[in-house]
Structure 1
């Protein structure tokens, strides 16, 4: 894997880097529910802003389109952000119409698994607002645990991905 995940697919999702032709669809899925959570997205987020985000994707910050396997509509975006020292940060947002169906969990898990497989020993982190219960739950489902530390962005907590599943019960 280069800094871009070339293409992934899951049972219900296709995941590939955003391209210039995605600008209109990207602007359409970014509303106040998204811009209020992601500090680098402006409100309102226009098609011009989407073009700029896509044009800047690559190298250390790569944004991936998530689409259903049976449709062309943009359901969400997953960002993979390279940080110093072999660390990667994952971020995501999904269209309001796509939330609550498990697509985000499935797609984020696929990206995490591909990143971990292609970068053995890398550290994968995510930042989340403590009051964003749905996002915290998604991150936990895919293997993130709280570090007890604040994130780089104000008001965020830092979570780290662990390869072992968290759904098991250990007996002592």
Structure 2
């Protein structure tokens, strides 16, 4: 796909370009971005160059990752980033970071909602997922404001700086935005009753025991 531009009430989501090198490098020195996102730590100029000249264009060309730089509609340098990552079978994952000095204004909620709407209307997304390392309460607050439904914890779900970490996971569906899904979705009307395991049956030849 050729890079596109999305707009919201206050913001423009555009493709990154090599000229963003200095501002990306500066923003990724922020301790919170390095702590909670998967950017390299420490973050060097070589990392910014590789991201802008390899990862971004390769993702758009391969339809695997769509990265957006976020800037104010009324002008100014980029203040945030978001990306949609193809997880296969119509499932996409959203990631994001917001530069210090611009937090607490609802920008990230606006960005993620805009990206999610495009995922559902432009990419045929049937399920959008969000993940964040446990403890990243700012990311979780954004996800919940957008409308993601928390689904629990993935043990060792995120790899960050060579270490697996437990993470929260949530999902957003087209119907959460009042949009049709490319595939029919039939949620259960109520949770099925719990079934207690039988303990009165003898183990047969197919039972799995020690050493299996």
Q: TM-score range by the shorter chain?
A: 0.7 to 0.9
- Tell me the residue number matched to 1:143: 147
Which residue does the alignment assign to 2:210?
Answer: none
Deviations 1:97-135 (A, max 9, x none): 111111111111101111111133521101012322221
Work out whether residues 150 and 171 of structure 2, in 8 Å CA contact, stay in contact via their aligned partners in 1: yes
Q: Which runs of 4+ in 1 moved over 4 A?
A: none
Q: How many residues align?
A: 162
Which range is displaced more, 9-18 or 145-154? Answer: 145-154
Residue of structure 2 equivalent to 1:110: 114
* Partners of 1:37 and 1:149 in 2: CA distance: 16
Aligned partners of 1:65, 1:53: CA distance in 2, in Å? 12
Alpha-carbon distance in 1 for matches of 2:40, 2:31: 9
Deviation at 1:19, TM superposition (A): 1.1
Question: Which residue matches 1:19?
Answer: 17
CA RMSD of aligned residues (A): 1.7
2:176 to 154, 160, 164: 164
Tell me if the contact between 1:66 and 1:76 (Cα under 8 Å) persists in the aligned partners. yes
- Specify whether residues 130 and 5 from structure 1 end up closer, same or farther in structure 2 by C-alpha distance, changes over 3 A only: farther
Q: How far is the alpha carbon of 1:5 from its aligned partner?
A: 5.7
Unaligned runs of 5+ residues in structure 2 are: 159-164, 178-212
| Cα deviation code 1:61-100 (max 9, x no counterpart) | 2221000111231100001111122211100001001111
TM-score when scaled to structure 1? Answer: 0.86
* Structure-to-structure mapping, 1:39-118, within 5 angstroms: 39=38, 41-54=39-52, 55-57=54-56, 58=59, 59=62, 60-118=64-122
TM-score (ref. length: structure 2): 0.71
